[in-house]
């Protein structure tokens, strides 16, 4: 049901290409590889079966041979010992977020093992096995949430590592992870208060925030009305009272003015929402089992339309 492709996806490919910098993407061959990679992230990661993915890879190879015939790409699609076609923000280390091509799995493993070690020193210990597919998922998640307005929809059966890999990706991006704590009394008003906390961190304190939400935490379908608005535009109509909006506009007035905008109430609010889109990123962890995922996606289209999907295939 989510095999719908439109101009938004094409724009996302170019948004990915624009993450590259001339210092790193300095040859025509590298640009061709980047185009292949970004196209696979947008189109290939949505596909639900190895058969569909193989069909996509065949098409991508065919286009690459036709358009970039001078640059061989077969090494990325070999049946055995294929070279990894991965661009990520942590090629050298997790401090400098430079988007570049990974030169080898061993290098990527060393960086991520070091990141996991640092994570475990300051957080509850995660005992992760960083095999190649897991590393690729971390690269995909960090790529999504480092984009302005970037939200991820991770689809896979329970226990496939969606939350753990997201936490490590957030650590690499220097984001704080926030999850709602569900109880028998958790209500819409509680969700709104939790969202206000995230908005304050992201919009006023300029902190990077990853809002990690699983399908089991959606105990009330009305939660998704707010999540849908957050994903679509960042502007949730009735989240703040009028006096709270006035306080926010006053707090961002100087920053709004410094950005070159007249600090009117409307401009200050638009500036604030822009900061939310820049700093607050939702990662949804859903299971494809049952009808909930399909039904929710139909009722709340931003769950699919305003996210980048990463479908977790069964581990090898």
Question: What are the backbone angles phi and psi of residue 168, rounded to the nearest 5°?
Answer: -70, -40
Residues 167, 211 contacting (CB under 8 angstroms):
no
Rounded to the nearest 10°, the torsion over CA 299, 146, 188, 223 is 20
Angstrom distance (rounded) from CA 124 to CA 161 = 16
Instruction: Report the percent of the chain where pLDDT is more than 90.
Output: 57
1 has pLDDT over 60: no
**pLDDT reported for residue 311:** 87
Per residue in 156-196, pLDDT (tens digit) is 887 888 999 999 999 999 999 999 999 989 999 999 999 99
Compare 268 and 9 and report the one with higher pLDDT: 268
Residues 154, 283 contacting (CB under 8 angstroms):
yes
Give the DSSP letter of residue 216.
Answer: G
**pLDDT reported for residue 77:** 85
Tell me what the mean pLDDT of segment 99-125 comes to: 91
**pLDDT reported for residue 242:** 92
pLDDT band at 252 (very low <50, low <70, confident <90, very high): very high
Strands 209-214, 100-101: pairing kind: unpaired
**pLDDT reported for residue 2:** 64
Tell me what the mean pLDDT of segment 90-117 comes to: 89
pLDDT band at 316 (very low <50, low <70, confident <90, very high): low
**pLDDT reported for residue 160:** 80
3 has pLDDT over 80: no
> Considering the entire predicted model, what is its pTM?
0.91
Tell me what the mean pLDDT of segment 296-316 comes to: 86
**pLDDT reported for residue 283:** 96
**Of residues 254, 283, 280, 253, the one with CA closest to residue 269:** 253
Instruction: Report the percent of the chain where pLDDT is more than 70.
Output: 98
Residues 142, 136 contacting (CB under 8 angstroms):
no
Q: CB under 8 Å to 216, separation ≥6 — which residues?
A: 182
Three-state secondary-structure class, residue 127 = coil
Tell me what the mean pLDDT of segment 209-229 comes to: 94
**pLDDT reported for residue 78:** 82
């Amino acid at each position: 049901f989510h095999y719908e492709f439109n101009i938004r996806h094409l724009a996302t490919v170019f948004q990915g290409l624009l993450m590259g910098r001339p210092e790193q993407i300095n040859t025509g061959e590298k640009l061709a590889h980047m185009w292949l990679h970004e196209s696979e992230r947008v189109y290939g990661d949505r596909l639900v079966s190895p058969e569909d993915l193989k069909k996509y890879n065949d098409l991508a190879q065919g286009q690459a041979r036709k358009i970039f015939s001078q640059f061989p790409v077969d090494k990325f699609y070999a049946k055995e010992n294929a070279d990894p076609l991965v661009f990520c923000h942590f090629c050298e280390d997790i401090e400098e977020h430079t988007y570049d091509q990974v030169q080898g799995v061993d290098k990527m493993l060393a960086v991520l093992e070091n990141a996991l070690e640092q994570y475990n020193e300051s957080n509850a210990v995660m005992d992760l096995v960083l095999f190649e597919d897991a590393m690729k998922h971390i690269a995909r998640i960090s790529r999504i949430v480092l984009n302005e307005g970037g939200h991820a929809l991770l689809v896979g059966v329970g226990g496939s590592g969606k939350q753990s890999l997201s936490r490590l990706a957030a650590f690499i991006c220097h984001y704080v992870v926030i999850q709602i704590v569900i109880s028998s009394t958790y209500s819409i008003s509680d969700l709104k208060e939790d969202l206000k906390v995230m908005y304050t961190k992201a919009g006023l304190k300029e902190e990077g925030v990853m809002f990690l939400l699983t399908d089991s935490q959606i105990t009330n379908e009305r939660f998704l009305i707010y999540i849908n608005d957050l994903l679509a535009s960042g502007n949730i109509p009735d989240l703040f009272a009028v006096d709270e909006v006035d306080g926010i506009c006053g707090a961002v007035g100087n920053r709004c003015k410094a950005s070159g905008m007249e600090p009117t109430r409307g401009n200050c609010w638009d500036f604030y929402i822009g900061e939310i889109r820049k700093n607050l990123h939702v990662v949804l962890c859903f299971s494809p089992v049952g009808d909930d995922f399909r039904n929710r996606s139909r009722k709340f289209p931003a769950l699919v339309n305003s996210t980048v999907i990463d479908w977790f295939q069964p581990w090898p």
